[in-house]
């Protein structure tokens, strides 16, 4: 489970691109809606996630899936 204490370590472990860390943290801890790509990832909308991903995030899609499965709250 992601916590404020371990989130940086976990995002690095799953090789989530650094430019996405802020959006993930704001969504999880401050309830600030993410951008279109992260919203699609969190909504489990694979088609929309690929459609809105930048090239770096497209290459990391499996990493996001692992993060969601093993670390994110349901």
pLDDT value of position 74: 73
Q: What is the DSSP string of the chain?
A: ---TTTHHHHHHHTT--GGGHHHHHHHHHH-----HHHHHHHTT-HHHHHHH--HHHHHTHHHHHHHHHHHS--
**pTM of the predicted protein model:** 0.92
Tell me which residues of the chain have a pLDDT lower than 50: none
pLDDT value of position 28: 94
pLDDT, mean over the chain: 96
pLDDT value of position 65: 96
Residues 36-47 have pLDDT tens digits of: 999 999 999 999
Domain ranges of the chain: 7-71
């Amino acid at each position: 489970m992601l916590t404020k204490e371990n989130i940086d370590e976990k995002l690095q472990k799953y090789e989530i691109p650094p430019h996405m860390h802020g959006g993930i943290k704001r969504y999880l801890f401050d309830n600030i809606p993410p951008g279109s790509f992260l919203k699609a990832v969190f909504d489990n909308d694979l088609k929309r996630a690929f459609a809105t991903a930048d090239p770096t995030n497209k290459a990391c899609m499996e990493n996001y899936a692992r993060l969601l499965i093993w670390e994110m709250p349901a």
